[in-house]
Amino acid sequence: MDEREAMTRALDLAWRGWGRVAPNPLVGAVVLRDGVVKGEGWHGEYGGPHAERAALAAADDSVKGGTLVTTLEPCSHHGKTPPCVDAIVAAGIRRVVAALPDPNPIAAGGAARLRAAGIEVEFGMLAEQAAAQNAAFLHRVADASRPWVALKLATTIDFRIADQAGRSRWISGPEAREFVHWLRAGFDALAVGVGTARADDPALTARGEPAPRVPLRRVVFDRAAELPTTLRLVAERPEATTVVAGPDAPDERLRALQARGVQILCAEDETAALRLLRESGTGSLLVEGGGRLAGAMLAAGLVDRFYWITAPLWLGDAGVPAVRGLPSRPLDQTERWRVVERRALGGDTLIVLDRR
Ligand SMILES: NC(=O)c1ccc[n+]([C@@H]2O[C@H](COP(=O)([O-])OP(=O)(O)OC[C@H]3O[C@@H](n4cnc5c(N)ncnc54)[C@H](OP(=O)(O)O)[C@@H]3O)[C@@H](O)[C@H]2O)c1
């Protein structure tokens, strides 16, 4: 295996921490000796061993003189676990290949310490893939003004998210729905507009593998605080639900929701709402529609990634549009998003796009 193949493998291993390590990054590592894999590791649990230590511990024999390939710069600090650089130096590793430097000021400095110990360090291999994998973590470190925001929609070929009666179950197939439960587990919070809450009465939980380490916050954008208290978002685990209301929401509606245990945030607009969500602990948010909330978030430039599931059917003009309220722009002034991933989910297609 060459170093690039080892980095691809390390990125695959890193996904095993999805839903379990945030606010830490996803990290995978492979130890190579003369092109042979000696050990593999990943950061699998918050507070648990880091990928590099796990890979060294898994090595079946001596890795002296070998290469450690890792998706993130090894840490140099005593956190919940001892510094990875100490283990790397002690193992006699000669070369470290890291996709990304660690932007977290507390953990950074690993490369300098490795170089000081005479170890060769190279950055940048598959850096774009590594950055896409850890987008939420990188955002958290760089921007405290709002959570990292992803939009997820399951649409028809003609970009409809429900039929003319408002029914959206089910546009996509079982494989896509299984993917969505996996996806949810990696976020701090899930959000819908009140239109979707009313139409679908969603539970907004992650009911697959992995189980999220921290229970997900459920957020409803509902300016007038009209969320019916009979819906599951209020009737089941109301303490996990936050309603984002507008400044003019009637007091009695706010009090009725609060009395059930629902948390209320009052915000002028989406930007203010996201700031309040971040201040109250939400580092990543998956917006699951509907079309009006999606349009408002996109129009305000607040969506960092779009998970687009397209299903092979048409619903026609009377179907509910996937995005509403987006101002029109001339072709030469519109942003082109970058495809990060494209794959089949049963009969449906997943396209993951990042705003540049
Ligand atoms: N296929 C899918 O992936 C999918 C996903 C979700 C939903 N759906 C379907 O989509 C339909 C609902 O979509 P929708 O567009 O009617 O409703 P929606 O986007 O879920 O909710 C719209 C409502 O949210 C409230 N809201 C609060 N803050 C807002 C903001 N900043 N911007 C925009 N709206 C805000 C508004 O009511 P106030 O002004 O009263 O606050 C607005 O009327 C349902 O039929 C549902 O089944 C499909």
- pLDDT at position 341, please? 97
pTM over 0.95: yes
Q: How far is the CA of 60 from the centre of ligand 1 (A)?
A: 54
Dist CA 271 CA 286 (whole Å): 15
Asked if pLDDT for residue 222 goes beyond 90, the answer is: yes
- pLDDT at position 77, please? 85
- pLDDT at position 82, please? 87
In the predicted model, what is the mean pLDDT of the chain? 96
DSSP character string of 309-339: EE-S----TTSEESS-SPPP--GGGSPPPEE
Asked if pLDDT for residue 249 goes beyond 90, the answer is: yes
For 221-227, what is the mean pLDDT?
A: 98
Give SS3 for 4: helix
Pocket of ligand 1 (CB under 6 A): 153-154, 161-162, 166, 168, 171, 192-196, 199-200, 221-224, 226, 270, 288-293, 296, 320, 324
DSSP, res 112:
H
88-146 pLDDT per residue, tens: 999 999 999 999 999 988 877 999 999 999 999 999 999 999 999 999 999 999 999 99
Count other Cβ atoms within 10 Å, centred on residue 34.
8
Percent of residues, the chain, with pLDDT higher than 70: 100
